[in-house]
Structure 1
Amino acid sequence: MKSKINAFMKEIEERNGHEPEFMQAVQEVAETVIPYIVSQDIYHGKNILMRMVEPERAVSFRVSWVDDDGEICVNRGYRIQMNSAIGPYKGGLRFHPTVNMSILKFLAFEQVFKNSLTTLPMGGGKGGSDFDPKGKSDSEIMRFCQSFMTELYRHIGPNTDVPAGDIGVGGREIGYLYGMYKRLKNEFTGVLTGKGMSWGGSLIRPEATGYGTVYFADSMLKTRNDSMKGKTVLVSGSGNVAQYATEKATQLGAKVVTLSDSSGYIYDADGIDAEKLAFVMELKNIKRGRISEYVKKYPTAKFTKGKTPWHEKCDVAMPCATQNEVDGDDAKALLSNGCFVVSEGANMPSNLEAVHAFLKAKILYAPGKASNAGGVATSGLEMSQNSLRMNWTREEVDGKLKEIMKNIHDACIKYGKEEDGYVDYVRGANIAGFVKVADAMLAQGVV
């Protein structure tokens, strides 16, 4: 079996060896899915995984825009349309200086499995730009978004490709992008998700990824007759996902003690309660400040510069910042400090060494494609509301989100439960996500 996996990865490397993040994502899936393919006559010999690894379409374009000083700036824009076997392409737009083809291909590939797990009719895609919104004025961000959409609009649509937000793309950016799309196409359709409530958005969409990450952790704990109540939790990041993971974990009786950004992390032994979280939300969402300012407001907390929080003691860890933020040494530190639950809020935040360490220790470990699927699930619910021209209540959307996360957890157990009762959520998520897409691809012929 190892030889089959190595042969597959060698072929992938010949085409994509210059794209390390994408190679890492494919390797993680190949290790669990290829043995399953070999055991199933319906998939064996059909080259399904190779077809899933190759994007259906990858678009790269120039984005020229004018800054406040009148200078013409040039950025790169991208849209990766990975797989549309079960529905229109669906996935976020990321505006960050690190954005490149490798990162977007890894995100789009993960999105295929994640969207399949939700059971909603959505294919996988991802896009963005190396534009950095930090330090830019609202006018500059508006001009960039408008220029970006003058090219992107040719490739998207409510039944073709429905982008959403991601790092660097929040409600403000979605608004500017949607305004230009509407102007160019002369139509009001549900082509973007994450919209404002007054113009087609869904309740709890901002909260959904963080909430879903906590719901999934709680579901894993229930398999051991346990719950989030009384648990000490490490959360990384301080943006949207981290904020609402903190909120929901606190509501379920846990104590969140860390948050972070690119400058370092804060540790508050007393816990980040609702009042402290409100301060963080204002600091990050309105003032766009640094997390280090937390200790000025709450001096009993400490700030550690240039580090991640993974060497602190905890029961539960929720990486909610970015890819590969947890390495092998971090994983060892978490395990030695008592962590027995890891629920990923970010996309691929643990590298392969860390993943293998978690699985070897047989802790409750949920990969992002399962545990952070709540965001895209609620985006799918927003698409449904747009198509129906109606809005659901907060309780209705939250109820549907809980049900979707429970279904994802059940699917992971179905394909990931081992003979000794341990659930390998990585294998479970990968195979469950693969099966739905693979069956659709087989039914549609060689496309």
Structure 2
Amino acid sequence: MLSADWSHSHCRGVARMVLFEPETVPRGWRRAVRRVDWTLLLLLTLALGFGLIAVYSATSSAGMHHFFSRQLFSAAVGTGLLLLVARFPRPWLERFAPIAYGVGLLLLLLVLLLGRTVYGSKSWLSFAGFSFQPVEVAKVTTVLLLARFLSVEGRSLRQLSTLVKALALIGAPTGLVLLQPDAGSALVFFALCVGLLLWGKAHPLVVMMPVLLPLVALLSLLGTVPLLLGILAGSVGIFLLRPHPIAAVVCIAIVTGTGWGSSALYQMLKPHQQARIQSFLRPEEDPQGSGYHIIQSVLAIGSGGLTGKGFQQGTQTQLRFIPKQWTDFIFCVPAEEFGFLGAVLVLAVLFGLIWHVFSLAHRFEHDPFWSLLLAGIGSIWFFHTAVNIGMALGLAPVIGLPLPLLSAGGSALVANLTFAGLVFNAYRHLS
């Protein structure tokens, strides 16, 4: 049996070797340490920690400890997938991408046939006692296949055939998600499309159109005058890009048709979907109905002041004035309990994480596969974060998008940790 003195001296020797004599550390250890993305690890740990604290605070006072337990379990499962994906050889990822994409589409089809309806959307599948959202699987598999498809030598988003095929790859899961119907998740694929078009150096007009069309559709809900001004501004923007005259006319016709058709489409939405849009446009008109979430959320964030009311001391959150505050409105919890400083810290971690992913994507300019994969992940995280924070502040409609790594939700957390595993994997391949 080894003595305690020997054990202590051995530990001191190892510590001295690592801290003061790094050249004596085995080469394999040093190489392994250098290939770990420590910045990502730190930001990821902070985000997960903030999320667990917020979920615990939002649910424990109401006796709903099972939400926190599920979040811990999902974090453990997601961490396991992260470690697995982080070690996948690149050839495996590229070979596996089409199969994974097909599995994702199959799950989206199955949920339409066998899924469980929650809040008007048939988006949950149950298997062996567990429930999950196939759309979260589809987000990962779609990003992976698009990166593989667009990284093939000779393909460019400025080629019409490549552009059409890429849009079809995004359009397939988007259409299936809209059939659930889940407009919020469908918009995530839209954001992925815009992000990859921009990162893949598509023609500026191609990048502009997916951004312009939703803006014109939104203006159509505000009245005829805002709509006409939006169409006029969009037309001027199109001409400033100097496209082919026929392309310019076609794009202006699409913008005009989108604007006038959006009003008719609005009438086809379900009542709860119309209420979400109206609560965003005019929350004060129905403070006890469709505008309730936004008004209570803004009150909670504003009442936190500079340093907050203290852990589990928030009135709006602890008294449950905000429905589902552990998911869509999780940002209210740290903002009320830890104030402006706490909210800024959460935002700094999340946007720091997104910035780090895009920075890595830029460093992979020589390798389109990793660059596009990271840009797609960054686009999804940015859209989720921007929209969720916008929902909490009343700056975006309530469309049910969780805050990455913070909101309660097993499927989303596992998917985001899988994304993180892909980022770790990419970092290992930096030259």
TM-score above 0.5, yes or no? no
Higher share of residues assigned helix: 2
| Higher strand content, 1 or 2 | 1
Give TM-score, length-normalised by structure 2.
0.30
TM-score if structure 1 supplies the norm length? 0.29
Q: With CA pairs under 8 Å and 6+ residues apart, which has the higher RCO, 1 or 2?
A: 2
